[in-house]
A and B are shown apart, each in its own frame.
Chain A
Amino acid sequence: MNTLTKRKIQNKVALSLSVLAAAIGLFWLFFILWDVFRHGLSFITPDLFTKDPVPPGFEGGGLRNAFVGQMLITLVAMVIGIPIGVLGGTFLSEYGRHSKLGRFISTLSDIMVSVPSIVIGTFVYAIMVKPIGHFNGWAGGVALAIIMIPVVIRTTEDMMSLVPWSLREAAFALGAPYYKVITQVVYRGAATGIFTGILLSIARVAGETAPLLFTSFNNSFFTTNLNDSTPSLTVTIFQYAMGPYDDWHGMAWAAALVITVAILFITIAGRLLIKWRYRS
C-alpha cells in the first residue's frame, strides 16, 4: 500500500470516529431537549407564571414564587460576580501579566472553575447561613457569584489578551494614561467577547441546584425578602421531582423546560453575538 492510500484511509477512519463522537453527544442533547419538551409543554400555562404553589391535594397553582426568587438570586449573583470578574480579568490581562501574583491568581481562578458547586454551597453555608441561623437568599446569590467569578475572569482575561498590543501602544503613543487605554481602547475591542462571557456565566449559574440547597434553600410562598429562605426554580424542580404527587412532577417538568429554554436562549444569544462581531 502506498503512502497516499494509507493517509487517505487514516483520514477516513479519523473522520468517521469524530463524526460518531459528535453524533453521540448531540443525540443525548436532543434526547434531553425532546424529553423536556414532551413532558413539560402541556404544563406550561399562564397559571404557572402568575400563581403561587397551593398545598398538596389542591388543584392548580403555579411557580411564580420560584421564577421571581430565581431572578432575584441570579441578580444578586450578577451584581456581585460581574464587576469582580471583569475587574479581576482586567488585572490579570493588563497589570498582572508578567507578575508572579498574576500567574498565581490566574491558576487559582482556573482551579475554582472546576470546584464542585456543592462545595461552594457548603462553604457559603458555613459563612453566611450557620452564623445567621437560617437560610437566606443573599447566601444563594453569593454562592452563585462565587461560581460565576472565575468564569468571567477567564473570559475577560482571554478576550482582553486578544486585543493586539500594537493597539495599546498606539493609544499610549497619543499620550493616554493606562486606565484610559484600558477603558477606552481595550474594553471596546474586547466588549463583545466580555459580554458574551458574562452571558455564558449567567447561563452557567442559572442552572445550578447544589449551591442553593444549602444557602437559599426553598420557600413555598412568594417572597422578595432575601433575608429569608428564597425559592428558586432549580431547587423547586429538585423537590417537586422527588415528591409523591403527579401534578408536582408535571410542574417540575414545566419548570425544567422553562429554565432549559431560558439558558438555551442566553447561550445562543451569546454565540450569535460572537458571530455578528467577527463578521463585521
Chain B
Amino acid sequence: MNKVNKIPADKVLIQVQDLSFSYGSVKAVKNITMDIARNAVTALIGPSGCGKTTFLRCFNRMHDLYTGNHYEGRVVMEGTDVLGKGVDLTELRAGTGMVFQKPTPFPMSVFDNVAYGLKLKGIRNRTELSDRVEAVLKHAALWEEVKDRLKEGASGLSGGQQQRLVIARALAVEPKVILFDEPTSALDPISTSKIEELIFQLKQEVTVIIVTHNMQQAARISDYTAFMYVGELIEFDETDVIFTNPNVKLTEEYITGRFG
C-alpha cells in the first residue's frame, strides 16, 4: 500500500490515522491513513462498493445515526479526534457540511432552506438572515435564478438548482469542511459543470472532500485523489500524479477503465 504523504504539515487540516469502520461484522473501511489538505479538493475514487462513501460519512460521523456501527483509529481535525467519546455531534456536523447524491431541499421555501442552518445557530435577526442568505446564494451562483422566488417552495426548483441550493445551505453556516457524496451523479451535464465550477471556487474558503464515480470530474476539480478498492486505500497522491503516472498498477487499471 502506498501512503504517500507529500502534504506539508502546515497545510494539513485532517489527519486520518489507521481508520477502520465496520457495519456490524462487515469491515467496510480498512486501516486508512491519509491527510486531507486545507483549502483543497480531495477526491475519493474507486469502484462501487469500495467504501468511499462509508469513509466520507466518517468525517461527520453520519454512521452514528444507526446502531451496530463501529469505528477504529482516529480522524484528527485541528488537534481533536472527531471519533472521540466527548465530541459533540451537533457541533461537529454544524462545522462539516454535507451534500448528497440526490438534492435534499427541505419542504420549505428557498429562503428558509438556506436560513435553516443559520437559525440552528441561533441567528434570529431578520436583516442579518436575509443579508447572509443573499450573500451565500450569490456565492453559489444561484441568486439571479431564485431572487424572485425566495418565498416559493424549494421543491419547485430544477434538480441542478436544488443541488446548488443545498450547497448554499451548507455554505451558509461557514463550515470548515464540506463533504460531497457524488453530488452530480443525478444531474445533467450543464448543471454538473456549474456545480464543478462552484466546488472549484469553494476551496478558497473551505476544504472539500468529494466522492465521485466520474474520473474526469476528479481530474478536473481535485488537487488530491485517493483511490480505494475493497475498503482499502490503494493510492493517494496529487491528482496529476494519480492520473498521469500512478505508482500502483491497480490504480492505473482503474483509471484507464480496465475494471470497475
Contacts and interface: CB of A to CB of B under 8 A. Distances in A.
Contacts of A184: 106, 116
Interface stretch (B39-47, B129-137, B166-174): B166-174
B231 to A, nearest CB: 22
A174 B173 contact: yes
B169 A174 contact: yes
B120 A174 contact: yes
Contacts of B170: 173-174
A172 B91 contact: no
11 contacts: A167-B107, A169-B100, A170-B98, A172-B62, A173-B62, A173-B170, A174-B97, A174-B169, A176-B116, A184-B106, A185-B106
A174 B168 CA distance: 12
Contacts of B100: 166, 169-170
Contacts of B108: 188
Contact of B90 (A170, A176, A185): A176
Contacts of A189: 106-107
B67 interface: yes
A174 B104 contact: no
A168 B91 CA distance: 17
A280 B93 CA distance: 32
Contact of B106 (A98, A170, A175, A280): A170
Contacts of B92: 175
A174 B166 contact: no
B127 to A, nearest CB: 22
Q: Is the interface of A mostly helix, strand, loop or mixed?
A: helix
Contact of B104 (A98, A167, A188): A167
Interface residues of B, number: 28
Contact of A166 (B96, B102, B107, B120): B102
B77 to A, nearest CB: 15
A166 B116 CA distance: 16
A171 interface: yes
Contacts of A280: 153
A188 B154 CA distance: 13
Contacts of B159: none
A171 B116 CA distance: 9
A175 B120 contact: yes
A168 B65 CA distance: 10
Given A169-B100, A175-B93, 11 more contacts: A170-B100, A170-B104, A172-B62, A173-B93, A174-B170, A175-B91, A175-B92, A175-B95, A176-B116, A176-B120, A188-B107
Nearest to B91: A175
